[in-house]
Chain A
């Protein structure tokens, strides 16, 4: 039913060349509540007015002097193309009315007519027009909807068809209604074979009942979707009888009162194989690590035993050599010629030197085994002062110009880093011994992510060809024969720096001094 107020808003045109008749109709309509009533005394303008205003109803009196009402109707035909004209004709002649109806008028009113008759007819016509329009727009909507449904279906079909995962839909009776291309490939089975049939052919027999119950239970939950893999390993069965592991999720949807279950399946054979491979590689790796650890522990124990033995057993005979040489000198010195005494002194010097080597070697080896203490942010300037203090005896009686810049703080094992400074400074003092004034500069630069510290001296320097040997244990450069020391100091410095994650290197030229640099991680706040 059309809305009554909408009917009263209907646009009406009254066409009559007689003003008195026109006025009657107009007044009647306005009285009845119509809000949009127009009229014309010139029937020839009807077409023009309609084109402009698109009336819902045109009332034409067929008994006009100026023109034939039928011609007026004729003029409207190319405007109103959808069968029939929204025209109500008035006439007292039945024949005229009949012709008008044939010409497309929607209704007629025979004269004379009562007001009730006229208003009823007009209202019905307007109402019918409204309903017609409404149903037309519904029809259009329906058309659009079915187009988009068709498009949606096509899109869905192409998604389902091109999906990598197998998509299978079964109805409430668990018969297949959708079986996509991926499913065909996965099960090696064409859709014609399975459509409308139970899933049984796709499930290994021992799982069939379980699967059926699972789907039924799932249906009873009313949950819209869930993963099936969570229920443990499930398997599919290919047409060739081969079983394969799958991972699946299931969803249910009600369509036209029928529940459809859609299962999306993935063949995880390849992934399972890869996982298995990873597991076995991991296990293998762990075994290798375990073996290597055992080996390393054994090697460490060997090293420990060796160190212990060196510490105990090698020093004792040296003491014998030294002690008894001394005993000879003490007890038989007067009887020995000077050369004999010199030879014994040489023997003693050798023994003592070897003792020093052993001590340094042990210190070096301990450094490799002991763990670093918790790194603390270290005031490097203060640390250098302490190192200089320790080296007091080495500076005695010499002119040493120590130039210590303000140093960037570093984080590390305090005692070990001090050892680095002691060793580098001792090295610098040693090789500047023949300079009238030894100049030793200590400074630092802050680089990306690390601090670089340096010790520069004006000493004898060295040939860069031997730079690589500098930090090796007992690797002494040719020049060093003139200088005391065991050649372990730089090796120890290197090991400490490396254990802190830093690097150490040196640049020098013969007789032009040397610069040793090392890096350390930045101290907090620097």
Chain B
């Protein structure tokens, strides 16, 4: 990613293999260039709220979509989601939970916290790749985000 370029997709994923498959799928859809990766919940929050390593970033340059895994080290996915929704500056960032969990309590809790979409990662790579690509394309190309508040 070249400096100054606006990040369009934040992928929050701790599983190395899943991450690689996700990036592979995005690359095949020609969406790889504007992707930022966070390997745990704390990194994701640093990026979104422009703290730590990302202190130089502007919070207004919000990603077009966050692909969020739920089971994450340090700060888990549901808490990341909650923090994004609690802050007026980040409240409108689209967040898609992309997880292995089909557990009803995760689905219910995610929607309660205001997730935009909940997608279960399929075991089959084709389906997985297709899901990731469709998500990227939808949120980047079709979805109309609100105008930044100022």
Shortest CB–CB separation between residue B76 and chain A, in angstroms?
A: 12
Residue A318 is within 8 A (CB to CB) of chain B in the complex: yes
Q: Which residue of A has the minimal Cβ distance to B105?
A: A308
Chain B window 23-57, contacts with chain A (Cβ cutoff 8 Å), 1 for yes, 0 for no: 01000000000000000000000000000000000
Q: A311–B128 contact, CB under 8 A?
A: no
Given contacts A307-B103, A312-B100, A359-B102, contact A323 B15 (CB under 8 A): no
A311–B101 CB distance below 8 A: yes
- Evaluate contact between A324 and B123: CB separation under 8 angstroms: no
A320-B17, A320-B18, A362-B102 known; A327+B123 contact, CB < 8 A: no
Could you say which residues of chain B place their CB within 8 Å of the CB of A320? 17-18, 21
- Chain A interfacial residues counted at CB < 8 A: 27
Q: Is A311 in contact with B100, judged by CB distance below 8 angstroms? A: yes
Q: For A351, what are the chain B residues with a Cβ–Cβ distance below 8 Å?
A: 123
Q: Mark B56-100, 1 if CB is under 8 A from A, else 0.
A: 000000000000000100000000000000000000000000011
Known: A316-B15, A319-B18. A326 touches B125 (CB 8 A): yes
Q: Which of A277-335 contact B (CB under 8 A)?
A: 307-308, 311-313, 315-320, 322-327
- Given A323-B17, A323-B21, A327-B24, answer yes or no on A316-B100 (Cβ-Cβ < 8 Å): yes
Check: B149 CB closer than 8 A to any chain A CB.
no
Write the chain B residue with the least CB distance to A319: B123
Residues in A whose Cβ lies below 8 Å from that of B121:
315-316, 319
Residues from chain B with Cβ under 8 Å of A354 in the complex: 123
Pick the residue among A311, A316, A326 that contacts B102 (CB under 8 A).
A311
Q: Is the CB of A319 within 8 A of B102?
A: no
A316 / chain B contacts, CB cutoff of 8 Å: 15, 17-18, 100, 121
B103 is contacted by which of A311, A323, A352 (Cβ under 8 Å)? A311
A325: nearest chain-B partner, CB-CB: B125
Docked CA distance A324–B16 (Å): 12
CB-based A-B contact count at 8 angstroms: 67
* Assembled-state Cα–Cα distance A311/B106 (Å): 11
Q: How far apart are B30's CB and chain A's nearest CB, in angstroms?
A: 16
B103 neighbours in A (Cβ, 8 Å): 307-308, 311
Residue of A322, A327, A351 contacting most chain B CB atoms (<10 Å): A322
* Proximity bits, A335-368, B CB within 8 Å = 1, else 0: 0000000000000100110111011001000100
Does B126 belong to the interface (CB within 8 Å)?
A: yes
CA distance A366 to B103 in the complex (A): 9
Contact of B123 among A312, A313, A315 (CB under 8 A): A315
If the complex has contacts A316-B17, A319-B125, A324-B17, are A308 and B24 also in contact, measured as CB distance less than 8 A?
Answer: no
Residue of B nearest to A308 (CB): B103
Closest chain A residue, CB of each to CB of B70:
A312
Q: Which residues of B contact A327 (CB under 8 A)?
A: 21, 24, 125
Contact status of A322 and B102, CB under 8 A, knowing A312-B71, A316-B17, A327-B24: no
Residue contact A312 to B101, C-beta cutoff 8 Å:
yes
A327 to B121, CA, bound (A): 17
Say if the beta carbon of B5 comes within 8 Å of chain A.
no
Given contacts A322-B125, A352-B123, contact A315 B24 (CB under 8 A): no
* Complex contacts, B129 vs chain A, CB 8 Å: 323
Interface centre among B102, B104, B125 (most CB of A within 10 A): B125
**B2 at the A/B interface (Cβ < 8 Å)?**
no
Q: Is B124 an interface residue (CB 8 A)?
A: yes
Contacts of A317 in B (CB 8 A): 17
In the bound complex, how far is the Cα of B22 from the Cα of A320, in angstroms? Answer: 11
Given A307-B103, A312-B100, A359-B102, are A322 and B17 neighbors across the interface (CB < 8 Å)? no
- Cα distance, A351 to B123, chains bound together (Å): 8
Could you say which residues of chain B place their CB within 8 Å of the CB of A348?
A: 124-125
User: Ordered nearest first, which 7 A-B pairs have the shortest CB separation?
Assistant: A355-B123, A323-B125, A320-B17, A323-B21, A326-B125, A315-B100, A318-B123
Residues of A within 8 A of B (CB): 307-308, 311-313, 315-320, 322-327, 348, 351-352, 354-356, 358-359, 362, 366
Tell me the B residues contacting A by CB distance below 8 Å: 15, 17-18, 20-21, 24, 71, 99-104, 121-126, 128-129
Given contacts A312-B101, A318-B123, A322-B125, 13 further A-B contacts (CB under 8 A): A311-B100, A311-B102, A319-B123, A319-B128, A322-B124, A323-B125, A324-B21, A326-B125, A327-B21, A327-B24, A348-B125, A355-B122, A362-B102
